[in-house]
Amino acid sequence: MSSKQNLPDTCDKTDAMAVTVPPATRNSIGHINDPAGSKASSLEKDFRSMSSSLQDYNQESLEEVSRENSPTDFGDSDQVFLENGESQPKVREEKVQSNGLAEKSRRRSSILSKSGRPRKVKKSVSFCSMPTERRVANARDCLACMQEGTELTKLKPNGRMYRRYYWLENDLSEIRWMPTSKTYNKAKILVSQIKEVQNGKNSEAMKNKDVEMLYQEECMLTILYGNNYTPLDLVAKSPDEANIWLAGLNHLIAKQDDLSNGVDGAEQEDPELKRNIRDRWLTEIFIERSGSVVGVLPESEVIRTILGLSPAVDTQYIHQRLKELYSTDRSNAKGMLNCDEFISLYKDVASRQEIYFLMTKYGNSNDYMNAEELMLFLETEQGICDMSKSCCEKLIIDYEPSREGKAKILLGIDGLLAYLLSDTCDIFNSRLHAVTQDMDQPLSHYFINSSHKTYLLEDQLKGPSSVAAYTRVLKQGCRYIEIDCWDGPTEPIVYHGRTLTSKILFADVISTVNEYAFLSSPYPLIVSLENHCCLEQQQIIVDILKTKLGDKLYTTPINGNTFALPSPNQLKYKILIKCKKIEDSSDIISAHGYVSEEDNSVEADWKKITRKEPSKQMPMLRELSDLVIWCQSSSLEQFAQHGQSQKPWHVTSMSDTLVHRLMESSSALMEERVACNRHCLARVYPSCSKVDSSNYNPQPMWNCGFQIVALNQQTQGLDTDLNIARFKSNGSCGYVLKPAILRQPSAVFNPEATGPLNLPGVVPRVIQLKVISGHRFPKPLGSTTKSSIIDPYVLIEMFGIRADCANFRTKTVPGNGQNPFFDESFTFYTHFPEMALLKFTVLDDEFIGDEFIAQYTIPVDCINTGYRHINLLSSAGNKLAGCTLFVHITATHGADKKPMRRGNSTLNRLRVVKEAIAIKLVGIKAIDDTTKCLINNLSELAELKFNVETALIKFKEACDVGSVANIKYCVRTIANRACNAKGLTIKLVKSSGLPTFIISDGTPPDILKKALQAYLAWCKECKTLIDNGEPIRKTLLEIQALLRTIQSEMNSYVEEANLSEKKSQKALENFSWNMRVLKEQLTSLDQYTETCHSSFLKVIEAAQVNGVEVMTETES
């Protein structure tokens, strides 16, 4: 507890001090029942006086508490109590006049009165956090913190909240607290009575709306004790304190059979806590380095040893801890460390308490995990479902550093940290480092990694041009580059025309392109030539291209019957030239012709679309024109005239400003452009006003289906970060397949919609993100002062369609860039996850302008869920050594921001069924009759799926686990509760295809009975879906076959119905929509059926791992 506390002026310090009891005084009070102690009665009188004083606690101080997002620190009570515990605390002189006044005073001691409602506090705008100095690396550290005591807030089911000081007695036998109304002897819970400890919103008191608004879920703690599993709901000031109590109590529960009341704590302490495998391993390391356990190691060797054992530790941080060590009283000379000091220093700098808390959650409250516990962790948290026990044993051997741990197949905190820091646990799905997408679709079906003004290294007015720019982007997987060709003294040159940028030779550029074109990707490279040369130098361009590129240059003419672009696989290792092409209006073929010369100003673009003004003409060599095959530059007036009737090989270019103007002012024309992007290539480039080589946000362009979204890749920033992330998947080959809804011809999609979306074939997701901690954040670029410190916070942003865009920020951790602890959770709702990008940015909180520290951006589809370390990058995209962000991510289906209404299952069911069907009538009776039959079957299917999901939610609630927990974790909870119930035997019987729990030799407690009933209800719903789903599937397949027959004759149906052109188009769109919905529902049914079958197998596996006997129906 801090010795300096801020108290409201209106609050009597005496009352506040009475809440907090120092350890010395508390220990004296803890021996009240000692018959030999003569001061017990005196202390009890003191305690009663304290209780009386607390009844008059000032209301204004409590209102101050409600304005903050954590319980108020009341300060140390040393000013009130003497260390021997004999002083009586000061109390107010007012006396309670009546029972009514006493009741009123007691209500004042609640943080939140029954009628009071605190304002909602958003975590995303919390700006400060006091760093804790507690270092927790094992169970002994947790118990020591608990014995020291913690101020916690007690929650009542009626919504009242009370401040109490809780501590663990020295003999580890009971939890005590300082009450206000009951006698002191009743304010305790025996450790032997504790059945279970939970973290999060699991009880009814925790789910109170006022509590949710006032406290973080990570700070909530529920202790279940007694045969009836009575809950004690507590809230800590920080997630750290909650985790300390969670880990410590779980350890006591696991070891409670070895504890006995009335024995001195020092004698009763578990010897394994004093010297465990980790200590023995570190002792062995010390002996190897020093030659003797009683020897010493020099500082340089200590640092070298620690860095060898834990490379993630910062050298500067070790020096800082050594200075603190040297400032204490010690026998060894400065610069020399003995064995105990070495072990203590290593634990101090290399131990991470969040890793320890994670390990104790699955390690049965010990300091190690065995193979079965590791397998449960990997399946429950990391989403790895194909791990066997032997694989987990091999993983332990690979990552556990100690020989004893390897021999006993035990994974300690150092081994777990090494595993979590390895590439195996990277947040990016390693499977996507290879090409995994279908590369046989037309080029127009892919996003293409593109560069604008590729030759520039800086700005576009006077910056240098260099062939090194081409080398850089081609190595990064860029598949579209630009070359601006101008007349040189003797041969063509490349530069930004009519500016002061430097000039390079066209021949040097092509030589570089030839060397690096397919170094990082085998798929086609598009070279855009902006031709400003005379006919003579155009001939030189042709000769250079043919001579230097040779067979790589694609020159095969287009077949006249071609209606689609070729695929990337068909164009492997080929270079395509994009340029204007001569279009002859007569049979006379000359050596040259004329093409339009584009004016790249926004105003000119807008005039060409709206007024269809003609462009200027310039001569072009026919031989150069013949090199343009699949990428013919098309003018904007051609698009305005022909729209979707454009040829597939026509490539239209628009500035980013023009695209935004089209989005805002001409929705019909924009929809036509989006439709045209399904079969034609389209390019977006930065407007000419961006002379500083700045960029635009590429996400809205991708949302509209633009394939070539060209950026100034020499400019670092948000826009290039998004571009790098977009093309990080699919093996970084430069081509990423667009989502189906952006490829299919009749799909209706509005990326600017902000309301709830129901896109056929698209499964929405809810991304739940917990930012836990950061490590080794560097100082912002340009910060050179040694004494300067950073105050980091994390900004998390979701980029995608308009309905998915969101951002949150963590609290600021002042003065800690080495290991800031955030522990905050956020939720993102994504309707279109295939287009979504998640960006993490670490910033230094400054009074004027927050400075950039590091960043990382990743496509949502590439995220590995579970506990992950994010290797942060610099502004240039380079990996920062040791700079990581530790997070926990879960992804579940559904993106409805409106939660299910408790107790209103009918409305929930109607809403879910309505959203799941989404079938549209075509307007042709013969087809709509079949569609209505489809609606009935889809409604029945939606109800079956809804029932399974609802039963699973209720099962998890009955087990008091989070919504993201899996089936195996729920089974583990049931097994533990059955084990804690004395005289109870539980078995799992496989009967009628359902794994059923059977209780014998005892009566289960209500909490276990409730969980078993919810489990049985979930099993029955799964069985119902399996049994009834098969006939529905057969019916849907029959309807699908009938609709496919209708689809082949759709034109005749439209003609018979005599529909107008507009209605005919709408009918075709609705019919295509229904076909996609049907296909999606069939796939969903197969997935649900498979999930139900696999869930039953997981129940059996989890039961066996947790010691539950599994038998068949005949054996039982």
| CB distance 176 to 192 below 8 Å | no
DSSP string, 112-150: S-SS--PPP--GGG----PPP-----SHHHHHHHHHH-E
* Helix locations, 745-890, DSSP H: none
> Residue 160 is encoded by which pair of tokens?
């009242």
Cα(234)–Cα(225) distance, rounded to whole angstroms? 13
Cα(269)–Cα(260) distance, rounded to whole angstroms? 11
The three-state secondary structure class of 789 is coil
- Residues with Cβ within 8 Å of 310's Cβ and at least 6 positions away in sequence, in order, are 346, 349, 350, 414, 417
DSSP string, 25-50: HHHHHTTTT-TT-TTHHHHHHHHHHH
Q: In the annotation, is 319 catalytic?
A: no
> Residue 348 is encoded by which pair of tokens?
């101090």
Cα(192)–Cα(261) distance, rounded to whole angstroms? 10
Cα(352)–Cα(869) distance, rounded to whole angstroms? 13
| CB distance 395 to 419 below 8 Å | yes
Positive or negative torsion for Cα 11, 16, 18, 22 = negative
Q: In the annotation, is 679 catalytic?
A: no
| CB distance 928 to 922 below 8 Å | yes
Question: Which amino acid appears at position 246 of this protein?
Answer: L
Cα(239)–Cα(132) distance, rounded to whole angstroms? 11
* Helix locations, 117-260, DSSP H: 139-148, 209-214, 239-255
The three-state secondary structure class of 886 is strand
Question: Which amino acid appears at position 298 of this protein?
Answer: P
Alpha carbon separation from 932 to 910, 918, 1093 (Å, rounded) = 18, 12, 31
Position of tokens 């010369």? 597
Cα(73)–Cα(115) distance, rounded to whole angstroms? 24
Q: At what angle do helices 468-475 and 506-516 cross, to 10 degrees?
A: 20
Of these residues, 496, 650, 775, 888, which one is catalytic?
A: 496
Of these residues, 251, 319, 433, 452, which one is catalytic?
A: 452
Cα(1088)–Cα(1022) distance, rounded to whole angstroms? 9
The three-state secondary structure class of 963 is coil
Position of tokens 């993201």? 964
Of 192, 188, 194, 196, the C-alpha closest to 165 is 188
Query: First CA to last CA across the chain, in angstroms?
Result: 57
* Helix locations, 959-1060, DSSP H: 967-980, 1006-1048, 1050-1057
3-state helix, strand, coil in the chain (%, to 5): 40, 20, 40
Residue 1097, Cβ neighbours under 10 Å: how many? 11
Q: What is the edge-to-edge ordering of all strands in the sheet holding 1109-1112?
A: 994-1000, 985-991, 1109-1112
Rg of the chain over Cα atoms, rounded to whole angstroms, equals 35
| 323 class by beta-carbon count within 10 Å (0-12 exposed, 13-18 middle, 19+ buried) | exposed
Cα(390)–Cα(257) distance, rounded to whole angstroms? 31
Strand residue runs (E) in 922-980: none
The three-state secondary structure class of 309 is helix
Torsion of CA 664, 670, 674, 680, to 10 degrees: -130
Please give the positions annotated as active site: 452, 496
